[in-house]
Every structure is written in structure tokens, then in C-alpha cells.
Amino acid sequence: MAEKSRSNQEVKRQRILKEAAREFVGKGYKGANINVIAEKSGIGKGTIYLYFASKAELFAEALRVSNELWMEKARDIVGSSDDPLESLKELLKLDVVLGVEHKELAQLWISSFFGDNRQFVGTAAEVLEEYAGLVEDLVGQCIEKGFFREVDKRLAAFVLLGINELTIAFYDNLLQGWGSASEVYEPLLDIMLEGLIKRGRPAP
């Protein structure tokens, strides 16, 4: 019985986080209304404080939970292959596919860096560091194995993730006509990793 109660509480908690993300993205942190979040989550207005002590805690937790969703799948990818280049490709594609599938969480991240919720940019950057670290480590392994030329691996990681965020932001309105998120990302990944400059091009 106690286990079932905990399970129900976790379901409610996840529902609150999902509705909170939508509210924060749509109205910004200042305009977001806890009562509206509670109502859309199907719980009493005062009940939400049994799960989260404040609106600020709710926002920060939404960022952390979304990161853990990404990280859980990312760790599986990194641990399933000895080829850092293939792992990097799968990890970057995962980022975009999850971002399109969970738009409200992806938009929450984007709004924390560029939109109405920039007062949480420090929290967002701190939480993002773990995921960015995986990408940075794989880029470093690709350099060591000779797959990539010598570059600043940390800068390269943020360039790759930055392009991913733009892809997620543009997908619904500009890229969806090319196919699913996975289908769109295949040629984009080729451009990102192989570049636009033609090898063996004639000298000017």
C-alpha cells in the first residue's frame, strides 16, 4: 500500500513538473501562476506546496528533472559502444529527438538561456554541465583517436550543443517538412561533423 502511495505521488509530481514547464515557457517565471499549474495538474491549489516549497524550487527542479531524462539515456549510449565517434553521433541525435518529443522541457532550457527566464541561467548552466561533459569527453576521445583535428574540446562541445538547441527551436515551424526529428538530424549531423568545405577542392 505504501509503495502504491509513493508511486501515485511520483506520478502527480511529474505531472506538476510538466505543467509547470508549459506555464513557465508560456508566461515567463514572473507571469507564471502556481494556482494555474495546480489546476492543470489536477490537484488542489494548496497541495502543490507539499511537493515544492516555492515557485523558484519548482522551476529549478523542472530543469533538473529534464536533465536527468536526457542523462539516463545518454549514459546508456556512452556505455554501449567503444567507438567514441559513433557514441557522439548517437548522443547528439538523442538530444534533438528528446528535445522535439518533450518540447515543454526543451523550451524551458532555451528560455533559461535566451528568453524570459534568464534569471535561472546559472541553475540551467550548472545542471547542463553534466550533459555537456559527456559530449566534451567524447570529442576529446575522437581527437585522441585521430577522428577529429586538434580543437578546443570544450568549445567544440558547446558549439555542437548550441546547434542542437537551434534545431529543436526551429523544428516545428521550419524543419518538420523534412521528416521526423531523427530524419532531419541525419544530414544536419553530417554537416556538423564533416563540414561544408569540400576536401581536395581546387586552389583559388
| CATH number of domain containing 84 | 1.10.357.10
Question: What mean pLDDT is predicted for residues 138-167?
Answer: 94
Contact 13, 51 (CB under 8 A): yes
pLDDT at residue 178, as a whole number: 83
Q: What is the mean pLDDT of the chain?
A: 86
pLDDT at residue 115, as a whole number: 77
> Is residue 175 assigned to a domain?
yes
- Between 164 and 1, the higher pLDDT residue: 164
Question: What mean pLDDT is predicted for residues 162-188?
Answer: 87
> Is residue 42 assigned to a domain?
yes
> Is residue 48 assigned to a domain?
yes
What percentage of residues in the chain have a pLDDT greater than 90?
25
On the CB side of 187, how many CA atoms lie within 13 Å of its CA?
A: 6
> Is residue 201 assigned to a domain?
no
User: Residue 163 corresponds to which cell in the numbers above?
Assistant: 546547434
> Is residue 135 assigned to a domain?
yes
Domain count for the chain: 1
> Is residue 170 assigned to a domain?
yes
User: Which SS3 state, helix, strand or coil, does residue 133 take?
Assistant: helix
Domain residues for 155?
Answer: 2-194
> Is residue 76 assigned to a domain?
yes
